[in-house]
Every structure is written in C-alpha cells, then in structure tokens.
Amino acid sequence: SAHLLTHEISHLKCAHCDYVTMVRSNFTRHLLTHKTTKHLKCVQCDYTTASKAYLKKHLFTHQTTKDLKCAQCDYKTMNKDKLKRHTLIHQTTKHSKCVLCDYVTTRKGNLKKHLLSHQTTKGFKCVQCDYTSAYKLNLKKHLLTHKTTKDFKCLQCHYVTNDKLDLVNHKLTHTRKHYKCTQCKYASFHKARYNDHLLIHQNIRNLKCDQCDYKTFSKGNLRSHQQIHKTGKSYQCTQCDFATHFKNKYNVHLLTHTTATVFKCAQCDYASWCRANLRKHVIIHRTKHLKCVQCDYT
C-alpha cells in the first residue's frame, strides 16, 4: 500500500533538465541551480551553484588530507578546532609545556591533568625511603613516620604523638568512662562487653550452640559461631573459644592475644596493627547521629 501511494503523488519534473522528484522542497532547491543571477563559483574549478550548502559540499571534493595549515610552522590538520588549539603555541601569552612530550596548553590545570597520562607508576615518592603513592595526601601521612620529634602532647598525661588526629582520639580516654579488667589489660567503654569479658576469667560458658557442642560465655561469639553452620567456613581461635566466619573479625580478635604494638580506638573496642586503619575507623565516631524522639534508636 505504501508503494501504491507513489503512483498517486504527482512527480515534479524540472523543465531545464531531466531532474525529477516528489519532494517540493528538493525541487525548489534544484531550480536554483538553473538561475543565472548570483551564482557561487568554486575557486578551484568551473563549478557554479546558487546554493552555499552545495558549494561547501563541492569544496570537499578538492580537499586532500590535512588541508588546514599553520601560518607559522609546518603543522597541518583537517580539523579547524585543532588548528586553533595549535596556534596557541605561537601566541605571546604564557603557556605551559609538558616536559615529557610535545603537549602545550595555556592553562596549568590542563597540564596537570595531562601529566597524569604519563604516570605508569605511583607518582609521589618519599625522599627518605622507597615508599611511593599515587596520592599526595598519603605521602604527607607517610612522612610523619620519619619525624623524630612528637609535637602533639596531651595536657592530662604524658602521652605524645606526631599525629594530631591520634591526639584527638587519645583525649577521649580522659573524658569517657571506661571499664578496666582487674585481672588483665582488657578495657572497654561498653559495660555489656566488659561483663562478657569477665566471664572469661570465671570460665563460665553457659551459652550453647543448638547444632553442635560449641559453648561460650558471649552472645556475640555464639552468633558468629552459628554463622559457621550457614556458610560452612569458620575461623577458630587457637588460644580461646572465639570463632567467626568473618576473616576481618578473626584478625581483630587475634590482636587481643598479641604483644605487638596495637592501635586501639578510644571510643570503642576496635583495634588494629595499622595506624592508617585506625584513622579511617575513628571517622565513624564523628558522623552526626540522628536520634528518634520517641525511643533510644539512633
């Protein structure tokens, strides 16, 4: 049916040549080619037209590769925008050049972004050791490890550190109530956890797994243990009855049995061998909590 419509539409035929079309706008544009007034002529051949659009299309037939040339050097391109950017090199205004390639720009920000393209390895290197990092902030933190002087001192005790954030975290130990075990070095800000800990010394394991013979004094340990039956994989401490299917929790637990330097959070029981991990952790205590006005939910 669509084809039959072509027989119903009248064909528009040019009276000057064999051109035929069914679209009136195309027909009108074609008639301009036969006008004798105001013809646009190609400067490279005898082609003429009354349409600027037709002339532009025709000019492309004369273009070979890289027709746009820089007036000040041998640079060539077919892209007008690229030529404009190139001419910035010859301007008297201050421009920044990449020391690793021919890239040139008038903006320092562009040069900084460009330099990243040359970074195949970590870009910021410590001048005192082999440490390298892709981030300047990480290098700044690393440099603190080389400081021999500790500039940040606690006014309430003899604690000193070369990291301001560590001092802020330490000061909390003087303001928050914490519960210390009289039989070992364990301490906690949470009374419930402290009470659970005391059961270790009493050797009371009154919480039993309903799927095996596992017993413990801690509800948290029991919950972690029960996950073993769900996932099949477990991490069992060889020095106590602690078990978990989370490797990160297992690693944190192992810190309680080690004598190595441990970085502990002053606001909870979190501990780590790595100071950087502690810094990341304390951020969670700074976030503003939203509290329910009808209950204790936060």
Helical residues (DSSP H) of the chain, grouped into ranges: 2-8, 24-31, 52-59, 80-87, 108-116, 136-143, 164-175, 191-202, 219-231, 247-254, 275-282
Q: How far is CA 144 from CA 139, 148, 199, 246, in A?
A: 9, 9, 41, 32
Is the separation of the CB atoms in 245 and 224 below 8 Å? Answer: yes
The pLDDT of residue 231: 63
Average pLDDT of span 124-142: 77
- Domain 68-118, CATH class in plain words: alpha beta
Residues 6+ apart with CB under 8 A from 140: none
Q: Which two tokens stand for residue 296?
A: 């204790």
The pLDDT of residue 297: 56
Report, at the CATH architecture level, how domain 179-231 is classified. Answer: 2-Layer Sandwich (3.30)
Residues 6+ apart with CB under 8 A from 241: 205, 214, 215, 216, 221
- From the list 166, 164, 196, the residue with the least C-alpha distance to 179 is 196
- Domain 235-286, CATH class in plain words: alpha beta
The pLDDT of residue 205: 64
Angle at 294 between CA 290 and CA 296, to 5 degrees: 60
Is the separation of the CB atoms in 82 and 72 below 8 Å? Answer: no
Q: Select 124-175's CATH number: 3.50.30.40, 3.50.50.60, 3.30.160.60, 3.40.1160.10.
A: 3.30.160.60
Q: Which helix H or strand E contains 258, and what residues bound it?
A: none
Mean of per-residue pLDDT scores for the chain: 73
With H, G, I as helix, E, B as strand and everything else as coil, classify residue 175.
helix
Lookup result for tokens 């972004």:
113
Confidence tier at 131 by pLDDT (50, 70, 90): confident
The pLDDT of residue 218: 73
Confidence tier at 37 by pLDDT (50, 70, 90): low
Confidence tier at 64 by pLDDT (50, 70, 90): low
* 69 or 263, higher pLDDT: 69
Confidence tier at 259 by pLDDT (50, 70, 90): low
Identical fold for domains 12-62 and 68-118, yes or no, is: yes
Task: Note the pLDDT tens digit of each residue in 79-93.
Answer: 777 788 777 777 655
CATH tag, 12-62: 3.30.160
The pLDDT of residue 21: 86
Every domain of the chain and the residues it spans: 12-62, 68-118, 124-175, 179-231, 235-286
With H, G, I as helix, E, B as strand and everything else as coil, classify residue 279.
helix
